Structure 1
Amino acid sequence: MKTIKDLISIAYNIENIDSDKLVTLYKNILKPRFIEEKMLILLRQGKISKWFSGIGQEAISVGVTMSLHDDEYILPMHRNLGVFTSRNIPLYRLFSQWQGKAFGFTKGRDRSFHFGTQQYKIVGMISHLGPQLGVADGIALAYKLKNKKQVTAVFTGEGGTSEGDFHEALNVASVWKLPVLFCVENNGYGLSTPTSEQYNCKDIADRGLGYGMESHIIDGNNIIEVYTKVSKIADSVRENPRPVLLEFKTFRMRGHEEASGTKYVPKELLTTWEDKDPVLNFEVFLKAEGVLNDSNITSIKESIADEINEHLEIAFNESDIISNETNELNDVYELFNYQGLNNNSKTKEIRFIDAVSESLKQSMIKHKDLIIMGQDIAEYGGAFKITEGFVDQFGKDRVRNTPICESAIIETAMGLSIAGIKSIVEMQFADFVSSGFNPVVNYLAKSYYRWSQNADIVIRMPCGGGVTAGPFHSQTNEAWFTKTPGLKVVYPAFPYDAKGLLATAINDPNPVLFFEHKGLYRSIRQDVPTEYFTLPLGKAVLIKEGSDITIISYGAAVHWALETLDKNVGISADLIDLRTLQPLDVETVYASVKKTGKAIVLQEDSLFGGIASDISALIMEHCFEYLDAPVKRVASLETPIPFASQLEKQYLPKKRFEKTLKDLLDY
């Protein structure tokens, strides 16, 4: 005759775990199961929009969360409900989040687990999956820099390990010895694609060897094994900081999301894993051990069910969010109260490149924990020698050479911001930001709007042509970012502006793309204050004043316009240097155009889709009755930027600008 123990398909070892802890583990693994079962009913009733089920995987979320301290960050995914419930987030807040209501965490702006909360030290995912791995690196780096004996845990699935972000994040964590637990939930399928079509090694844990990283395989359905092993590993990592790769073998008992179903899963495989149900097995085991009895279990289940129903009632009774355009627009950026500082009378003539270097150095002094990261920026001083000597003054903790992995480093900067540390990331060339494009436009740009978490990051972008560097080192790609809400874009043309605006960009708690034209680095000189000073973002400057026409430009193109006006002394023009492209100083532009009646916009970027198009449209919309001629745009050819000097000169708009300017004056 079968005993109760014969019903247990998982081997538990509860040595050194007291009964109270066992009961807590049981309550914590049961709660997400009960919530999910309720959510599946609500989904069918149309009361929530979508659900990604973690049924069958609860032991991992609960075991890992209970292994960490409450002040240690966890970065979960959409099957990790147990992380949120084990951190004791009030259920009504989760229910409101899933219904897009105000008691949630994103003011209705995002769904499911796409949110974070500093209160509970949880940083939710974005749909692109991979970026959170690098963000975990940044949080762990902050722990090391602050000498905290803490660990960060970040989740991904076996499918997510195919993304480049996974490999970049593991590499950075290994090189920098960061205290990160990379938790891979291997449930056999990436949506419907089996592991045999995802990777070609026996176990994901094998990949740890390639990164010089410790790795472990853990039974993800065994709550005791997850809790005890992860607790031991986490204790070790706190004392000896290093990354550890953890592969949890488990199974997803429902579809990737409910609409996709499980028809692609062989029935015998489902049956096998049904027998390994992490909740039912643990319940039966605790009964067999005498830790719980039927009465205890009934009481616990009734209590959880009552809690769910009570909190659902709160969420259902909460009013729907009322849309408010002002609130939406005001929450794209964190409020920044600019404080001008420019009481410095001593100046010195310096080059553009020196202005950038001075601003960085003085900001490093002002902000004692400011970090600079980039390829070859430490002892070598960077590709342009802007950070030469910085290591001697600030040390390698703050001036950090990085592996060639733009995506992970931008994500690391995001993690630093979450942990309260400012950072600067140098793209060796602005062109290379394409390798980190996703975290810039989808993580940094949207984070504050989504859950009020700022991205206190400046990305320096050496850019531009005129130096015969070819298609991959000469782009001026500001238009990739000016149309992305949540980013600020700065593009100075003079040393004075470069120094003051960079200081402000670093002070600003929002993400800033700071463009530095390579062609200006050593060709432009100007008297610049020697001490630290700031300039406001979003304020253009009128370089020349005239009455016949308004010229609007930025970056190196400002100097082309100046050269053209110097050659044609009879042209009376307002020349506006925008300096910042986002925010854009439209007031200065409108005032000038209303005075002159004609406008021409000069940019180095190719024409179609560039910011000149938007400026032209804005002028047409707001100054049409003042115009005496069409607004003209002058830009580079609609080709990639070529290498050979004669081709590059043809590509750039410098010569074409003079003719278009004269034609417009004669209109």
Structure 2
Amino acid sequence: MEFTASDTQKLVFQRKSHSDETLLRLYESLLIPRRIEEKMLILLRQGRISKWFSGWGQEAISIGAVNALKADEFILPMHRNLGIFTGRDIPLERLFAQFQGKKSGFTKGRDRSFHFGSIEHHIVGMISHLGPQLAIADGIALADKLSGEKKVTLVFSGDGASSEGDFHEGLNVAAVWKLPVIFVVEHNGYGLSTPSEEQFAFKYFTEKGPGYGMEAVRVQGNNVLEVYDTILKLAEDLRENPRPVLVEAITFRMRGHEEASGTKYVPKQLMEDWAKLDPVDTYETYLKEIGVLDDATEESLNKKVKKAINDALEIAFAEKALTADLEEELADVYAPFSQKVIEPAGTSTEKRFVDTISDGLRQSMERCPKLVLMGQDIGEYGGVFKITDGFKTQFGGDRVRNTPLCESAIIGAGLGLSIKGYKAMVEMQFADFVSVGFNQIVNNLAKIHYRWGQNADVVIRMPTGAGSSAGPFHSQSNEAWFFHTPGLKIVYPSNPHDAKGLLTAALEDPNPYLYFEHKMLYRSISGQVPDEYYTVEVGKAALAKEGTQVSIITYGMGVHWAIKAAEELGISTDILDLRTLLPWDQEAVKKTVKKTGKVIFLQEDTLTGGIGAEICAWISEHCFRDLDAPVMRVGSLDTPVPFASPLEKQFLPVERFREKLKDLLEY
């Protein structure tokens, strides 16, 4: 879309019934981000702060919105929403310390500018990927709806960010679940330098709302009273009649995407036209015209605002430079949690692997009323593997939620639930499909506690593995995709007892988990499993078999391959079942290596870059003196998982493992 004269007509302010106090409060709210921007641009040129994303010209949207909502309603801002932070009365000295990378900033120097949140101020900050914020807003609104709280959530997007799939997923989920979310699109005509006509083939976002089954409203975003009145009215309505609404705020960005990029790509006439609609200047003129603002009050408010900014800057600049603390950095990757293992008690019953997962999930739901399950077809259908069969009848549709086909939004909604004190279990129908939600996991769930102290109480169940001739997209072992990401925890049980105990343990922990469950184990193995609730220690490996000749380190289906090979070859082996892949049990690995002196790592995942590579490297570095042979590893072929049975059999490492094991014994 190209902005035209009709978009830059003179602003028409309507006082309605607003008091002088309200009008002046909005004026002062507008002044604060504008005066901060003026100061920040000077400091940026002086090299005293880092990269700056300016909202100059767009302030009325943030100020209108933040003043229209209640203080305890969540707002999820973006780059250009400084007014949201100042409007929620965040201490300016902490805000400036954040911009400077100081310890008292909200991220302790770990992230910059507006990439932070504050639960105290009911703000959830963005990540650079932009779109994922919308799904988090869905989760917060869902929590409010489940709790019976009459609240709305407001989330921002830019017109450029609307091209991301997360925008579609966020709106779609909110519409389907009738969540009280106000989606505000700041339509300023450019995504960095790319004009709107190169982003989408429509002029106004109000055309999109009906396609999602939601109302859409367009406002002149530079008119603070129009924005304020619109959001105020919508919020009052949505609190009583929950549903999402799309609000398009037409505006313009008068500075570069970030200060260094400039605005040379913008036609000069367009800049001049929009300069006449400056949200601060036009509102100030209006207030003077109606006699609410005089020169003395204007001067007084400006002095007050400038003094507050300068005083806060002095405090922030006086704070000493940050000193790196290795222990603190490592400690803050995960939310604090000390697991108290619940030992099994009572009777045990012979159960299949699949049934113990269902038991653990059901008992966790019974123990934790704020645990919500989400996934495709998990409701009446019970999931494609029937693990949640009967759950909707027992726990209700609010807590056992069928989802649209949108993995990213559902994982993001899980994080939103966590922000409001809920727990979420998200089922991937197949582990392969998690790639669609990869960004939410590795950049939102995994990093949020390290960045600003917010835990992500989300467990993602991942039906995984080959062996059923299901081809490249229903058979992958993708645990190594996540093994490299600090902030995640990964468990992978090999037997019915651990399947239940590791799942319950993961659901107790406030940190994000990936729980891998091998599909071929579901109905092929059984074991005695306690009927009552219990947990298994996370981070602790277990010996599936004890011996003296060689150590086989493995997990998941590999445990069963190893046991069978050792029995058939008549070998005395230590078979170490890792159970937890992140963090993995270094002491148990060291102990078995020292015991046998010969080590082979077995994984179903493709060989290159797998978990075995890391652990074998660690053994070579830390246990070299205990070795009597080279450390060996075996995995599946470095190809996609094939469909035809003979090809799949060749792909899997079973036969290659037997031959490699013989070689190791003979070394």
Could you state the TM-score of these two structures normalised by the residue count of structure 1? 0.98
In structure 2, C-alpha distance between the alignment counterparts of 1:543 and 1:177, rounded to whole Å: 49
Partner residue in 2 for 1:24: 25
1:510-521 superposed matches below 5 A: 510-521=511-522
After superposition, where does 1:455-604 map in structure 2 within 5 Å? 455-569=456-570, 571-604=571-604
Q: What are the Cα deviations for residues 227-258 of structure 1, in whole angstroms up to 9, with x where unaligned?
A: 01110011000110000000000000000001
Using the TM superposition, give the Cα deviation of residue 620 of structure 1 relative to its aligned residue in structure 2, in angstroms.
Answer: 0.4
Partner of 1:79: 80
Q: Give the fraction of aligned pairs with identical amino acids, expressed as a percent.
A: 61
Q: CA deviation at 1:204?
A: 1.1
What's the offset of the Cα at 1:657? 0.7
1:655 deviates by: 1.0
Question: Over residues 339-390 of structure 1, what are the superposed CA-to-partner deviations in whole Å (9 max), with x where a residue is unaligned?
Answer: 1112413100110000100000000000012000000000000010000000
Q: Determine the structure 1 residue equivalent to 2:315.
A: 314
Q: Could you tell me which residue of structure 1 aligns to residue 5 of structure 2?
A: none
Structure 1 residue 39: Cα displacement: 0.1
Aligned to 2:58: 57
CA distance in 2, matches of 1:501, 1:336: 15
Match of 1:289? 290
Alignment partners' CA distance in 2, 1:343 and 1:276 = 69
Amino acid at match of 2:143: A
Q: Is the 8 A contact 1:355 1:496 kept in 2?
A: yes
Counterpart-to-counterpart distance in 1, 2:354 and 2:168: 34
Q: CA deviation at 1:573?
A: 1.0
Q: Is it true that 1:635 corresponds to 2:635 in the alignment?
A: yes
**Partner Cα separation in structure 1 for residue 203 and residue 251 of structure 2:** 15
SS at match of 2:369: coil
Query: What is the CA–CA distance in structure 1 between the aligned matches of 2:489 and 2:15, rounded to whole Å?
Result: 54
Query: Shift of residue 126 of structure 1?
Result: 0.1
Cross-structure match for 1:5: none
SS in structure 2 of the partner of residue 489 of structure 1 = strand
Name the residue aligned to 2:394.
393
Matched, 1:300 2:301: yes
Q: Secondary structure at the match of 2:272?
A: helix
2: CA distance between counterparts of 1:223 and 1:169? 26
What is the CA–CA distance in structure 1 between the aligned matches of 2:218 and 2:210, rounded to whole Å?
13
Q: Distance in 1 between matches of 2:565 and 2:300?
A: 84
Paired residue secondary structure (2:544): strand
In the alignment, what sits opposite 1:3?
A: none
Pairwise CA distance, 1:205: 1.6
Partner of 1:644: 644
How many correspondences in the alignment? Answer: 659
Residue 377, structure 1, aligned to residue 378, structure 2: yes
Q: In 2, Cα distance between the equivalents of 1:525 and 1:394?
A: 27
Question: Aligned partners of 2:562 and 2:533: how far apart in 1?
Answer: 30
- Between the aligned partners of 2:259 and 2:148, the Cα distance in structure 1 is 44
Q: Is the 8 Å Cα contact of residues 9 and 281 (structure 1) preserved in structure 2? A: no
The amino acid across from 1:656 in the alignment is: R
Matched residue, 2:168 = 167
Residue in structure 2 matched with residue 606 of structure 1 by the alignment: 606
Residues 566-601 of structure 1 show CA distances to partners (whole Å, capped at 9, x for unaligned) of 1122x1111100001001001001011011111000
Q: Distance in 2 between matches of 1:465 and 1:594?
A: 33
CA offset digits 1:416-442 (Å, max 9, x no partner): 001110010000000000000000000
Does the residue aligned with 2:634 lie in a helix, a strand or coil?
strand
Residue in structure 2 matched with residue 48 of structure 1 by the alignment: 49
* TM-score after normalising by structure 2: 0.98
Which residue of the partner structure matches residue 4 of structure 2? none
Whole-angstrom CA distance in 2 between matches of 1:152 and 1:343: 42
TM-aligned CA deviation for residue 146 of structure 1:
0.2
The one-letter amino acid paired with 1:639 is T
Amino acid at match of 1:632: M
Match of 1:256 in 2: 257
- 1:267-416 equivalence runs, <5 A: 267-416=268-417
Following TM superposition, by how much is the alpha carbon of 1:50 offset from its aligned partner in structure 2, in angstroms? 0.6
1:444 counterpart residue number = 445
Match of residue 617 from structure 2:
617
Check the 8 A contact 1:553/1:603 in 2, yes or no: yes
Deviations 1:298-330 (A, max 9, x none): 010011011100000000000111101110000
| Aligned partners of 2:344 and 2:532 also within 8 Å | no
Tell me, yes or no, if structure 1 residue 664 matches structure 2 residue 667.
no
Q: For residues 628 and 390 of structure 2, what CA distance do their matches in structure 1 show?
A: 54
- Alignment of structure 1 residues 144-155 onto 2, 5 Å: 144-155=145-156
Find the residue that maps to 1:460 and give its secondary structure.
Answer: strand
* 1:219 Cα deviation from its structure 2 partner: 0.5
SS in structure 1 opposite 2:208? helix
User: Aligned-pair distance for 1:15?
Assistant: 1.1
Matched residues in 2 for 1:537 and 1:437: separation?
A: 23
1:442-498 deviations in whole A, cap 9, x for unaligned?
000000000000000000000000111100000010000011000000000000000
Q: For residue 103 of structure 2, what is the aligned residue in structure 1?
A: 102
**Counterpart secondary structure, 1:123:** coil
Q: Secondary structure at the match of 1:381?
A: coil
Taking the aligned partners of 2:338 and 2:586, their CA distance within structure 1 comes to 20
Describe the superposition over 1:148-190 as per-residue Cα deviations: whole angstroms up to 9, x where unpaired: 1000000010001100000001000000000000000000100
Question: Residue 548 of structure 1: CA displacement?
Answer: 1.2
CA deviation string 1:6-54 (max 9, x = no partner): xx93210001000000000000011100000000000000001110000
Deviations 1:544-564 (A, max 9, x none): 111111100000111000110
CA apart distance, 1:201: 1.2
Give the match for residue 6 of structure 2. Answer: none
CA contact (8 A) 2:490 2:582 kept: yes
The alpha carbon displacement at 1:606 in A equals 0.3
Confirm or deny: 8 A CA contact 2:376 2:405 kept in the other structure: yes
Query: What is the SS of the residue equivalent to 2:66?
Result: helix
Matched, 1:123 2:124: yes
SS at structure 2 position matched to 1:119: helix
Q: Distance in 1 between matches of 2:301 and 2:446?
A: 43
What is the distance in 2 between the residues matched to 1:579 and 1:543?
11
Rounded Cα–Cα distance in structure 2 between residues aligned with 1:347 and 1:120: 49
Q: Is contact 1:495–1:528 with CA below 8 Å preserved after alignment?
A: yes
Question: What is the DSSP-based 3-state SS (H/G/I as helix, E as strand, rest coil) of the residue aligned with 1:614?
Answer: helix
Match of 1:157 in 2: 158
Question: Does the residue aligned with 2:121 lie in a helix, a strand or coil?
Answer: coil
Question: Is 2:119 the partner of 1:89?
Answer: no
Counterpart residue identity of residue 42, structure 1: L
Q: Could you say what secondary structure the match of 1:481 adopts?
A: helix
Q: Aligned partners of 2:372, 2:418: CA distance in 1, in Å?
A: 11
User: Whole-Å Cα distance in 2 between the matches of residues 565 and 176 of structure 1?
Assistant: 52
**1:122 match: secondary structure:** coil
Inter-partner Cα distance in structure 2 for 1:412 and 1:602: 36
CA distance in 2, matches of 1:281, 1:462: 58
**Deviation at 1:202?**
2.2
In structure 1, distance between residues paired with 2:614 and 2:214: 49
> Using the alignment, how far apart are the partners of 1:336 and 1:222 within structure 2?
48
C-alpha separation between the residues in 1 aligned to 2:104 and 2:35?
Answer: 21
Contact 2:344 2:533 in 1 (8 A): no
Q: For the Cα contact (< 8 Å) 1:57–1:250, is it kept in 2? A: yes
Q: Determine the structure 2 residue equivalent to 1:4.
A: none
Check the 8 A contact 1:52/1:258 in 2, yes or no.
yes
